[in-house]
C-alpha cells in the first residue's frame, strides 16, 4: 500500500515464543523527555512513512534504524490504530528473535538543554527488551496497546486451528 501523507507511521511488532510464553520486542524512546519514564512509554519500533513510500518497506526500514536488526520473514498485517494526535500507525507482526543487548539505534539531534543554543544527539531508542504480553500492555504507550491485543487474538486463532 502506498501512502501520500506524512501523518502515518509504520512499524513492526516482533514476537517470539519462549518456554510456552509469547514475548514482544519493544523499544524505549531516547532523549531527555523519556529518560525517567517507563510504564506507558515503550513502543514498537516505528517511524514516519515518506511521501509515496510503501508502508511495509517503511516499517522494515524503521525497525532496522531503531534496533539495528533486520526484519525478515512472514509479515502479518495488524489493523491500523489512530492516535489521539490524529496520526495513524500501521503495523505488522513478525515472528523473530534478536538480542536486545546488541541493539544499535540511529541518532537524532535537538537543542539541549532547552534555549541553550546547543545541539545534542540522542539515540532514537535508548534500549530494547522482550516483554510477555501482560507486561507489554503495561509498558507500551496506551495508543499502541491494540497491536498487542490483536497479536494475542491472531495467535489464539492460529493456535486453535493448528490444534485440531
- Each domain of the chain, given as residue ranges in start order, spans 8-162
- pTM confidence score: 0.90
Ramachandran angles phi, psi of 17, nearest 5°: -105, 125
| Averaged pLDDT for residues 153-163 | 72
Q: What is the pLDDT of residues 24-38, one digit of tens each?
A: 999 999 999 898 899
Q: Quick one: cell of 27? A: 523499544
Residues 8-162, CATH architecture: Alpha-Beta Complex (3.90)
Report residue 49 as a C-alpha cell.
512513512
72-129: pLDDT as tens digits:
999 999 999 999 999 999 999 999 999 999 999 999 999 999 999 999 999 999 999 9
Please, which residues bridge with residue 10 across strands? 47, 90
Q: How far is CA 147 from CA 10, 23, 66, 157, in A?
A: 12, 13, 18, 15
Q: How many CB atoms lie within 10 A of CB 93?
A: 22
Amino acid at each position: 500500500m502506498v501512502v501520500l501523507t506524512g501523518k502515518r507511521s509504520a512499524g513492526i511488532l516482533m514476537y517470539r515464543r519462549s518456554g510456552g510464553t509469547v514475548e514482544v520486542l519493544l523499544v524505549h524512546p531516547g532523549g531527555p523527555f523519556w529518560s525517567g519514564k517507563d510504564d506507558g512509554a515503550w513502543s514498537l519500533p516505528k517511524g514516519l512513512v515518506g511521501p509515496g513510500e510503501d508502508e511495509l518497506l517503511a516499517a522494515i526500514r524503521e525497525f532496522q534504524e531503531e534496533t539495528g536488526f533486520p526484519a525478515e520473514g512472514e509479515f502479518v498485517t495488524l489493523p491500523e490504530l489512530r492516535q489521539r494526535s490524529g496520526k495513524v500507525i500501521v503495523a505488522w507482526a513478525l515472528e523473530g528473535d534478536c538480542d536486545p543487548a546488541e541493539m544499535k539505534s540511529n541518532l537524532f539531534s535537538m537543542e539541549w538543554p532547552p534555549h541553550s543554543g546547543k545541539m545534542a544527539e540522542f539515540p532514537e531508542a535508548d534500549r530494547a527488551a522482550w516483554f510477555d504480553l501482560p507486561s507489554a500492555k503495561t509498558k507500551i504507550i496506551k495508543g499502541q496497546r491494540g497491536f498487542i491485543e490483536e497479536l494475542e487474538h491472531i495467535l489464539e486463532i492460529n493456535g486453535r486451528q493448528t490444534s485440531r
